[in-house]
Structure 1
Amino acid sequence: MRLLEAVLVIVNPLAFLILTLPVPHAVRALRRAAPVVLVPAAAQILLEGPRWQLVPAYVLAAGISAAGLLHGSAPAHRPRPRTRSRKLAALLTAGLGAVALMASAALPALLPVFSFAPPTGPHRIGTTTRHWIDTDRPEAFAAGPHARRELMVQIWYPADSGPDAPHTPYVHDGEVFAAMARLARVPEFTFGHLRQVTTNAVASAAVAGDRSRYPVLLFLEGAMGFRQMNTFQVEHLVSHGYIVVALDQPYTAASVRFPDGRRTAGLPPDRLRALIDRSFDPAGETPGGRVFDDGLIPYLTRDVTFTLDRLAALDRADPDGILTGRLDLHRIGVFGVSLGGIVTGEACRLEPRLRACLMTDTRMTPGVVREGLAQPSMWLTRDTATMRREGWSAGDIGQYQSTTRAAFRKGRADGYFVRVPGMFHADFTDIPSWSPLLSRLGITGSVPAERAHAIVNAYSLAFFDRHLRNRPSPLLDGPAQPHPGVLLETRRP
C-alpha cells in the first residue's frame, strides 16, 4: 500500500470513531474538525492517482466530512432521550460505517499498487523501447497482403542515473491489463490500477561506464503475455551487468500498441492454443487464409533471428545514441517462459549466435527433442504432483515432462534441470505480486512470491554468469545450496 493510501486508510477510522462514539465534552470539538479527512483523500488522488479499490475510502471520507460539517453548524441544545428508533439508526450508521471501513482497508491491500524490490546488483537500470519492422517478411496474421511483421522491443541495460531520476511505468499500454482481466474472466477494470506501478528503470539513461560492453539476453514472453511480465527477473539480471531485450510478438501477446496508435490484440485463447498444438504437427496451420510454412513456433522463432540482426545494426549505430558499441554480441543468451520457452528452445536449435538457453515451465518441440541443443541449457520447472494440483491434464503433464526430460538428456553441452515443487505456472512471472488473493484462487502455488522469485533469480543469474561470463557459480554444482526443496539435476556432455 502506498504512503498516502495508508494515511487515508488510517485517518478514516480515527475520524469515524470520533464522530460515532460517546466522547467527553472536551473532545467533542474534534468532531468539527472531521472535514480535515478530505485532505489526505485529495492528496492521494492528486499525488498518487485515484483507483477504484479506494472508492469506499473516498466515499467514507466524504461522508465523515459532511457529518462533521452538519455537527458543527447545528445549534446547541439539550441532549434528547435516545429512543428505540434513534438507537437503531445509530447502530445502522455504525454498522454501515464499519463495513465501509473494512472495504476501504481490504480492497487496496488485496489489489495493491505493488513495488518491485530494489535490484541487488551494483548497477542502476535504464530502458528504451524500439519499433522494428521486418520488411522482408509478411505478417501471417494480418488481412492485408502488404502487411509486414512488426515488433515492439524493450531494452533494459546497466545505467548511470541519479537516485532521484523518475522511474518508468510498469507498462505503457494499459490495454494489456484489460486483456489479462478478460483472460481471467473478471471485469476489465480489475487490474487497471497496475498502470500506476513503477519499476526501478529510468528512461533513456546513459549506459553505465564501468565496462565497454555488456552481454545480451533476449526475453520471450508467454502466450497472451506482455514483454514486461518478468520484470522482477529482468531487473535482477540487468542490475548484475546484462542487457536484456524483450520482444512483444503481435497476436500471441495480450496486446501490442505501435507508436502510431495501432494496436493488435491477442488471438482468442482457444485459437492460440490450437495453433501452438498444431506447431508440434508437421501439417502446419492456416491462419486467416495463409499457410505457415512449418508451423507457428518456427514463425515466431524468425522474430528472434530478425532481432539478432537488428541488435547488430543497433550496436553499429544506435539512432538514439544510447547503445552504440555497448552490446557484447559474442555473448548472447535467451530465456523465455511458457510459449516463450518453446520458442527459446527452437531458436537455440536453429541459431548458433545464441550461446546459453534458459527455458521456463514449458514443453519442447520435436526438433529439440530429436536433436538436442548444442548450447548450455537450463530448464526451470516443477514436479508432476504440483502440475496435477494446479489442474493440468494428464496429457499436458506427460508432454511437458517427457519432452523437457528428453531434451535435457539429448543435449550436447552442459545441462541443468531445476524443479521447484509447489510453484505454479504463474509463479515464474510477476503475477504473484499482483494480489495475495491469487493463491486462494489457485492461480499461484504454495511457494510465497518472494521466495519463488528469489529462486528464479538465483538460478538464472548463476546459469548466465557461468556460461556467458565464465564466472564461478557454486549454486549449479549442488547439492549444498541456499534454497531448500529445490531439486537440481546436472548433465555434462
Structure 2
Amino acid sequence: MRRRGPGAEHGRVTETIPGLTLSLPEVLVLLGAVALLVARWLPPAARRPVTAAAGAVLVPSAIVLGIVGIRWQMLPVLAGGAVAAAFALPPLLRRRTGRPARRARWWLALPGSLACAGLIATGPVAAWAFPVPVFPEPTGDFAVGTRVVQWTDPLRPESFTADPDDRRTVVVQLWYPAQKSPAGTQRAQYLGRTEDEARTVSEALADGVGLPGFLVDGVPRARSRAVFDAPVAGGAERFPVVLFSPGSGGVRTQNTAWAEELASHGYLVAALDHPYDSAVVVLADGRTIRATTASSGDRDSDEELATGWTAVRAADLGFVLTRLERLDRGETADPLTGRLDTGRAAVAGHSLGGAAALQAARQDHRFGAVVDLDGYPHGPASPALGQPALALTQEITAGTDPRYLPRLTDALEHSTATSYRLTVPGAGHLTFIDGPLYLPPVPSIVGTLGRTESPRVVAGATLAFLDAVLRGRPGDPADTLRAYGKVYTVSPLVGLGHVDA
C-alpha cells in the first residue's frame, strides 16, 4: 500500500518505497528512462512501440520537472535517458524513411547500456540517500497545530551587537494540541513559515557543516504533520509546557518530529531560535540574522565561549516561559489563553541546547523537569539542580570526548532530585534531531536506528519521563525508560546506580 508523503495532498511527493520520496513526474521520468534503455534489447516487433511509449512518457515529464524545479537526484536519470534515446531512436527513424535500420552489435552496445543503467540507477540511490523527509504520523489523541511568534525582551540588551538600543529578540515556534483539520488541509512547511524561508534555513544548515546546499534540496520541499494556525483542541484541558533549545548552529525546527509527537499527547512545545547562535533566523520584518558564534580551536577558550553562549540561551528560555505565562493569563488575546499549565513546565535541548536547558533549570525553578538530548554540560555545576532530569546519550565509544560522561555524571549527581541517564544503543549525535529523516543513513552521522525508529525512540523516552514527573503517572520512570536503552538512575543520596536494560 502506498503511503502519502509530505506534500502528497498536492501531488508533489509520493513515497514509492520506504525512504524513497519521488514526485509523480520524477517517477515517470525514471520509468521512461528505464523503458528506453530496455527497448534496445527487445525483439524487433516490441522495440518500436516501447520506444515510442517511453518517449511519450519521458519528454512531457521532463518538461514538467523543468517548470516546477528539478532536483539534482534526477539529473543522472535524465542524462541516462538522453543517451539511451540517442541509440534507440535513430534506427526507428531510418526505418520510417525507408532506409535500412542499423544497430550496433550486442557486444558493442552492452557497455553503453551498462553505462546508461548506472546513470539511471544513480538517481533513485541519491534520492534514497538525500530524500524529501517523510514525518512520522503522531501517535497521540490530538491533532497538532503550529504557529510562529516573535518576542522582544525590553529588559535585556542584545549582547551580540554593539547597538545599545538593540534588545534581545527571539523567534519561537509553538506546537500545540489542535482540533482535527478537514481532509486535504495543507500541512505546515518544514524549516520555515514559507518555502523561501525553508530554503534559506536549509542552505544555512548545509553551509554550517560544509555541505553544498543542493545536496539537501529536498528538505525545504517537505511538510510536517502539523497545520499552521489550526484551532486549539476543544475542552478545558490545560497543557503542560515544554521549552526547547536547539544545538549550536541548529534551528527551532530541527526537532519537529519530536515536538509534534509531544503535542499530540497533550503538551505545548515552544522551540526557540537564538539569534546570532542559530544557523539563521528570519525575523518577522524579513531581516535575516546568521550565526556569528564560532569555535576558536583552543579547548579552554572554547569552553569559556560555550559557557557564555549557554548563559544567553538559558536567559532566552526563562524569558519565553514568562511570555507564555502572560499569554496564558490573557494579557494579549490569544487562542491559547487559559489553556497552558505553566505550573507544569519542562525545559529541553539538544547538544548545546541541552547544556542551556540544565543551566536554565538551575537558575529558574519554574521549570519542573529537564531533558538533555546528548548535550555536554557547560557552565557552573552550582547551584545544585533541584529538578529531575533525563539525559539521553549516544553510546560512549573510544571516539567520544572522554570528558563528556564524567561531566554529565557530575551535573546529574549535583542534584537534589532523582535523575536518569539513558544510553540509546545505536544512536549517534544526530539521532536526537530530525536528521535521520533526510540525511544518508551513515552510522557515524545518524546512528543505526533508522529513519523510523530514531524519532520513535527519542520522543517515546521523552514522553515516558515527562508523563511521570509532570503528570504524575504512577511507577518508577526507569521501568518505562528501560524499553529504550540502558538506564542509569542518579539518586541524590547514593549517586549513580545502574539499572539493567
Q: With the length of structure 2 as denominator, give the TM-score of the two structures.
A: 0.84
| Paired residue secondary structure (2:150) | strand
| Paired residue secondary structure (1:175) | helix
Shift of 1:447: 3.5
| Paired residue secondary structure (1:230) | helix
Q: Distance in 1 between matches of 2:111 and 2:419?
A: 66
Which digits, 9 at most, give the CA deviation of each residue in 1:433-489, with x for residues without a partner?
2233433xx22233434333322222100111111111235652369x434x43342
Give the equivalent residue in structure 2 for 1:298. Answer: 311
Change (3 A) 1:341 1:270: same
Give the equivalent residue in structure 2 for 1:98. Answer: 117
Give the equivalent residue in structure 1 for 2:455. Answer: 453
| Paired residue secondary structure (2:249) | coil
Give the equivalent residue in structure 1 for 2:487. Answer: 487
Pairs within 5 Å for 1:195-274: 195-267=220-292, 269-271=294-296
1:376 to 365, 388, 398: 388
Give the equivalent residue in structure 1 for 2:434. Answer: 430
Which digits, 9 at most, give the CA deviation of each residue in 1:58-108, with x for residues without a partner?
444566677777666542546456577x964x3454243212211222211
- Contact 1:356/1:464 (<8 A) preserved: yes
Q: Distance in 2 between matches of 1:159 and 1:219?
A: 20
1:341 to 329, 342, 354: 354
- Contact 2:84/2:113 (<8 A) preserved: no
Which digits, 9 at most, give the CA deviation of each residue in 1:324-361, with x for residues without a partner?
22211111111111111111011101111111111121
- Contact 2:202/2:219 (<8 A) preserved: yes
Change (3 A) 1:337 1:5: farther
Give the equivalent residue in structure 2 for 1:181. Answer: 206
2:367 to 323, 347, 354: 354
- Contact 1:31/1:71 (<8 A) preserved: no
Shift of 1:139: 1.0
| Paired residue secondary structure (2:281) | strand
Give the equivalent residue in structure 1 for 2:402. Answer: 397
Which digits, 9 at most, give the CA deviation of each residue in 1:208-241, with x for residues without a partner?
1144321111011110001111112111111111
Give the equivalent residue in structure 2 for 1:147. Answer: 166
Give the equivalent residue in structure 2 for 1:286. Answer: none
- Contact 1:12/1:57 (<8 A) preserved: no
- Contact 1:378/1:417 (<8 A) preserved: yes
Change (3 A) 1:25 1:134: same
* The 10-residue stretch of structure 1 (266-275 or 429-438) with the greater mean CA deviation from structure 2: 266-275
Q: With the length of structure 1 as denominator, give the TM-score of the two structures.
A: 0.85
Pairs within 5 Å for 1:410-429: 410-429=414-433
Give the equivalent residue in structure 1 for 2:326. Answer: 313
Report whether the alignment pairs 1:471 with 2:470: no
Pairs within 5 Å for 1:43-192: 49-61=69-81, 73-74=93-94, 75-77=96-98, 79=100, 88=108, 90-91=109-110, 93-160=112-179, 161-172=181-192, 173=197, 174-192=199-217
* The 10-residue stretch of structure 1 (220-229 or 320-329) with the greater mean CA deviation from structure 2: 320-329
| Paired residue secondary structure (1:328) | strand
Report whether the alignment pairs 1:16 with 2:36: yes
| Paired residue secondary structure (2:253) | coil
Which digits, 9 at most, give the CA deviation of each residue in 1:386-444, with x for residues without a partner?
xx3xx34xxx422x2122212222211221121124322111111122233433xx222
Change (3 A) 1:320 1:109: farther
Give the equivalent residue in structure 2 for 1:278. Answer: 304
Q: Distance in 2 between matches of 1:82 and 1:28?
A: 13
Change (3 A) 1:80 1:355: closer
Which digits, 9 at most, give the CA deviation of each residue in 1:160-219, with x for residues without a partner?
122421101111232222222223222232222210111001000000114432111101
Change (3 A) 1:10 1:83: closer
Q: Distance in 2 between matches of 1:121 and 1:164?
A: 20
| Paired residue secondary structure (1:155) | strand
Gaps in structure 1 of 5+ consecutive residues: 282-294
Q: Distance in 1 between matches of 2:103 and 2:217?
A: 46
Q: Distance in 1 between matches of 2:235 and 2:475?
A: 22
Q: Partner amino acid for 1:308?
A: L
Change (3 A) 1:276 1:329: farther
Shift of 1:130: 0.8
- Contact 1:226/1:255 (<8 A) preserved: yes
Change (3 A) 1:19 1:230: same
| Paired residue secondary structure (1:189) | helix
Shift of 1:136: 2.1
Identity over aligned pairs, percent: 33
1:330 to 337, 340, 343: 343
Q: Partner amino acid for 2:356?
A: V
Pairs within 5 Å for 1:21-36: 21-36=41-56
Change (3 A) 1:358 1:81: closer
| Paired residue secondary structure (2:367) | coil
Change (3 A) 1:3 1:176: closer
| Paired residue secondary structure (1:269) | coil
* Number of residue pairs the alignment of both structures matches: 464
> CA RMSD for the aligned pairs?
2.9
Shift of 1:314: 1.8
| Paired residue secondary structure (1:31) | helix
- Contact 1:255/1:265 (<8 A) preserved: yes
- Contact 1:364/1:403 (<8 A) preserved: yes
Q: Partner amino acid for 1:363?
A: Y
Change (3 A) 1:276 1:303: farther
- Contact 2:78/2:120 (<8 A) preserved: no
Q: Distance in 1 between matches of 2:306 and 2:103?
A: 77
Q: Partner amino acid for 1:263?
A: T
Give the equivalent residue in structure 2 for 1:288. Answer: none
| Paired residue secondary structure (1:164) | coil
- Contact 1:34/1:65 (<8 A) preserved: no
Shift of 1:280: 7.2
- Contact 1:414/1:490 (<8 A) preserved: yes
